Amino acid sequence: MAFVDKIDPAAAEPRISSASAGDYFALLKPRVMSLVIFTAAVGLLLAPGGIDPFVGFVSLLAIAVGAGASGALNMWYDADIDARMARTRTRPVPAGRVTPNEALAFGLILSALSVAVLGLASNWVAGGLLAFTIFFYAVIYTMWLKRWTVENIVIGGAAGALPPMVAWAAVTGTVSIESITLFLIIFMWTPPHFWSLALLKTEDYKRVGVPMLPVVRGEAVTARRILIYSILLAPVGVAPYFLGMASVAYGIVAAGLGGIMIFRSIPIVRSGGLDRVAARRLFGFSLFYLFIIFVALLVDRGIDALGIF
């Protein structure tokens, strides 16, 4: 099939923006940004050595702004396909409330500001990782992978998995096996999470020619890949226990959550990817999975610090 070519949304005639503060906030993709803040905060709190509370707050804010900048750049570039998808057509740029040039300028300014603030407040290892995260999401994923390869979500998931590693580096100035493990949990979680959503939005993606897995390879292949990645995710989720980052209690919780992810993937496979109820249930549970995994890591660290057990 012929995949979508980039249509420059800036080709429209210049006009005065009618954007409100709420429209600019929407450009930041606040739901995605909230997940970034949460996982980054966990990385910040789990990192050894501790960090000054004010520096930690500024670092977390910079990471959040960097994530928002990525979202704004994504909405600028994807305005052409967003306008033709039911899920995204009301976003500020395709809806005409924010001009493409404004979205681009907003994203670039926030990108530079967030990297500079993080580098100056903590260290330039963290600042460099944040810059790479923004570049990866805005350029590698949005401008290349999303429109040209069926592996867009698999490879592109690295951008969403980097925030806890960035936060860890803000505390320690290094990248370690522990922070890589946090990265891998989100990286392996991303495909089953987004492919279950893609099964629900297949017609939308087909309409705009975005080569999502169910569009190119079909629902049955997508269902099998969801199960495969859910199976791969299970031991990765337990890895913090084997690395000494967490207790056996965490390991039991993570193993149980991983088992449920696998269990909820099976009905999707049996239906050949056509069971939309099962796909919706897996999508909902995947959000719960990631939240509980990271909360469990925090609780486990707090219990260990207090010497309760």
DSSP string across 58-121? HHHHHHHHHHHHHHHHHHHHTHHHHTT-TTTTTSTTTTTSS-HHHHHHHHHHHHHHHHHHHHHH
CB-CB contact of 136 with 202 (8 Å): no
Model confidence at 62, pLDDT cuts 50, 70, 90, reads very high
Give yes or no: residues 241 and 305 share one domain.
Answer: yes
Give yes or no: residues 197 and 252 share one domain.
Answer: yes
Model confidence at 19, pLDDT cuts 50, 70, 90, reads confident
Between the alpha carbon of residue 49 and those of residues 52, 143, 167, 173, 235, the distances in Å are 10, 38, 13, 11, 27
User: Residue 3 domain-assigned?
Assistant: no
Give yes or no: residues 156 and 231 share one domain.
Answer: no
Q: What pLDDT, on a 0 to 100 scale, did the predictor assign at position 304?
A: 62
Structure tokens at 228: 């495969």
Domain encompassing residue 58: 20-175
Give yes or no: residues 70 and 216 share one domain.
Answer: no
User: Residue 141 domain-assigned?
Assistant: yes
Question: 65, 216, 195: which is closest to 130 by C-alpha?
Answer: 65
Locus of tokens 């260990």: 304
Q: Residue 154 maps to which CATH number?
A: 1.10.357.140
Give yes or no: residues 29 and 171 share one domain.
Answer: yes
* 218 three-state secondary structure: coil
CB-CB contact of 227 with 262 (8 Å): yes
Structure tokens at 53: 């509370």
User: Residue 65 domain-assigned?
Assistant: yes
Give yes or no: residues 182 and 116 share one domain.
Answer: no
Give yes or no: residues 169 and 40 share one domain.
Answer: yes
Which residues, including other chains, have CB under 8 Å from residue 8's CB and lie 6 or more apart?
A: 80, 100
User: Residue 95 domain-assigned?
Assistant: yes
Model confidence at 16, pLDDT cuts 50, 70, 90, reads low
Structure tokens at 86: 């039911």
User: Residue 2 domain-assigned?
Assistant: no
Structure tokens at 158: 């690295």
Give yes or no: residues 26 and 170 share one domain.
Answer: yes
Give yes or no: residues 144 and 214 share one domain.
Answer: no
User: Residue 5 domain-assigned?
Assistant: no
Q: What pLDDT, on a 0 to 100 scale, did the predictor assign at position 207?
A: 87
Domain count, the chain: 2
Structure tokens at 275: 């069971």
Indicate the burial class of 307 (C-beta count within 10 angstroms; 0-12, 13-18, 19 or more): exposed
Cα first-last separation, the chain? 58
Give yes or no: residues 124 and 183 share one domain.
Answer: no
Residue 309 CB neighbours (<10 A): 9
Q: Considering the chain, what is the average pLDDT of its residues?
A: 91
pLDDT at 302 over 90: no
Tens digits of residue pLDDT in 99-138: 999 999 999 999 999 999 999 999 999 999 999 999 999 9
Q: What pLDDT, on a 0 to 100 scale, did the predictor assign at position 76?
A: 97
Residue 90 CB neighbours (<10 A): 12
User: Residue 1 domain-assigned?
Assistant: no
User: Residue 7 domain-assigned?
Assistant: no
Which domain-ending residue is among 127, 159, 175? 175
Which domain-ending residue is among 175, 190, 207? 175
d(CA 291, CA 252): 16
Torsion of CA 36, 54, 299, 28, to 10 degrees: -10
pLDDT at 14 over 60: no
Q: What percent of the chain has pLDDT over 90?
A: 84
pLDDT at 162 over 90: yes
Q: What pLDDT, on a 0 to 100 scale, did the predictor assign at position 80?
A: 92
Give yes or no: residues 157 and 242 share one domain.
Answer: no
Q: What percent of the chain has pLDDT over 70?
A: 92
Which domain-ending residue is among 151, 175, 199? 175
The model's pTM: 0.91
Give yes or no: residues 292 and 250 share one domain.
Answer: yes
Model confidence at 3, pLDDT cuts 50, 70, 90, reads very low
Q: What pLDDT, on a 0 to 100 scale, did the predictor assign at position 2?
A: 42
Least confident span in 5-9, 28-32, 68-72, 243-247: 5-9
